[in-house]
Amino acid sequence: MEFVQLLTMLMAIIFVSKVTAKVTGTVDILWYILFGLIGTQYVFHIDPSLLENWSVLGIIFIMFYAGWKEDLIAFIADLWKNKWIALIGAAGPFVGAFIAYNLLNFTLQESIVAGFIFTSTAIPYTIGVLRSLGLEQSLAAKTATSSAVVDNFISVLLAVGILPAYALLVANGGDAIGFNDIWFQLLEQIGLIVFAFIIFGILGLLILPDARMHMRMNIPHVFQQNGAMAQVTYFIYKIRQAPGFYEVSKIMSNMRIGIPMTLLLVFGLAWLADSLGLHPAITAYLVGLMLHVDMFHETKIHNPSDAETPITYKNLGVFFYFVQEWIGPIFFIHLGSQLIANWSQAGTVIFYALIAGIIIAFFQFWSAYFAGRKTSGLPEYEATLLGLGMLPYDIIAFVVL
């Protein structure tokens, strides 16, 4: 019964957080963390160690669903189309964070790590604000959103390589390893991510029902319809039509088999990636990217109550939406459970946050504004909106720092 009691307590915290966020019109993530602190330490007295496995499960589903909602080919197209805005827009907060944390007496290494972390832009906040203002269809809004996707991916790549290496540097007291080795570790981690990405793509094309990819974007020749990637994809697709593969695919298309099969892919590939030294959350995002809509192409209308209903992007998306909506928050509750409320230091923390926030926001706005004006030729009002739209920062910054 202790397990049931734990679930009841967690669901109570999640429920109260969602209601509070709805009533106040604020972001629910902040309430998960706050009520996670209050609920686990002062109300229910939950041992944080009991939440560790649930926390990993939660972040896997959150990251998988984030990748699931992002179209892989559109992502590649946006990466190329907005490359200069993304890079220049990411350079601003990097420089701002580096300067801010230097002024706050952090070490050189810590300032560099903070700079990489703050290159990540919060897409949900950006989209939510622009939509509430009726500006989601403006050119600046679309540019900000696509650039934010690229910035997040760049930030994740850099953070995945930099942070483990920095931890190794600290663990060795800075004697057995130099900071230059961090860059070697970074390249190694990026290589592993690319390798894992290729594995996920091939497995997805071979296993999943009706798997296909449409190379249709105006991007470099290697990605175009007649490019090398399209030829490799077509070759794998032809293999799927061979006796054996096709029959397996048809069997897997049943929804009752397809959902556990997809879960097997998510957890199995996370396990594989963990053995390669990658965090399961990163691999879950990559798996979500690979399992995009084209891999669950719905050709017929079926009765959803029929046991033989095939697995589709729509019904699988609904399933994973509710899973990440009610298990994902446990990750943030676990974060809250690890916070130590020391009110005697509150003034110092607020002072540091204000200095860092003002400096980083200044560099972020003007770097995005300059990129929009000079590289994309946006009019002044669109460039201003672009700069403002790139201001919110992703929760990765809070989680890591």
- Tokens 């109570």 locate to 12
What average pLDDT does range 351-380 have in this prediction? 81
* Range in 112-121, 218-227, 357-366, 367-376 with the lowest mean pLDDT: 218-227
Q: How many CB atoms lie within 10 A of CB 266?
A: 22
pLDDT of residue 252: 62
Q: Which one-letter amino acid corresponds to residue 153?
A: F
- Most confident region among 148-157, 229-238, 315-324, 342-351 by mean pLDDT: 315-324
The residue that leads in pLDDT, 50 or 375, is 50
Q: Which residues contact 56 (CB under 8 A, 6 or more apart)?
A: 280, 331
**Backbone phi and psi for residue 365, each to the nearest 5 degrees, phi listed first:** -60, -50
Taking only the tens place, the pLDDT of each residue in 99-120 is: 888 888 887 777 877 777 677 6
CA distance 180 to 29: 36
Find out whether 154 and 90 touch, Cβ atoms under 8 Å. Answer: yes
What average pLDDT does range 254-274 have in this prediction? 75
179: tokens are 């900071």
DSSP state of 133: T
CA angle 383, 389, 391 (to 5 degrees): 115
Q: What is the mean pLDDT of the chain?
A: 71
Q: How far from each other are the two terminal CA atoms of the chain, in whole angstroms?
A: 36
- Collapsing DSSP to helix, strand or coil, 310 comes out as strand
What average pLDDT does range 33-62 have in this prediction? 88
CA distance 225 to 202: 18
Is the Cα dihedral 250, 253, 255, 259 positive or negative?
A: positive
- Most confident region among 141-150, 271-280, 390-399 by mean pLDDT: 271-280
Taking only the tens place, the pLDDT of each residue in 146-198 is: 666 666 666 656 555 555 555 555 555 555 455 566 667 667 766 776 776 67
Give the chain's domains with CATH numbers. 54-327+345-400 (1.20.1530)
308 to each of 210, 294, 298, 304, 359, how far by Cα in Å? 16, 21, 14, 9, 57
pLDDT of residue 213: 43
pTM attached to this predicted model: 0.66
pLDDT of residue 68: 77
pLDDT band at residue 8, thresholds of 50, 70 and 90? very high
**Backbone phi and psi for residue 302, each to the nearest 5 degrees, phi listed first:** -125, 155
pLDDT of residue 35: 93
Count Cα atoms within 13 angstroms, Cβ side, for 42.
Answer: 9
The residue that leads in pLDDT, 233 or 30, is 30
pLDDT band at residue 84, thresholds of 50, 70 and 90? confident
pLDDT of residue 152: 61
Q: Which residues contact 150 (CB under 8 A, 6 or more apart)?
A: 78, 79, 82, 83, 86
pLDDT band at residue 60, thresholds of 50, 70 and 90? confident
pLDDT exceeds 50 at position 396: no
26: tokens are 């604020």
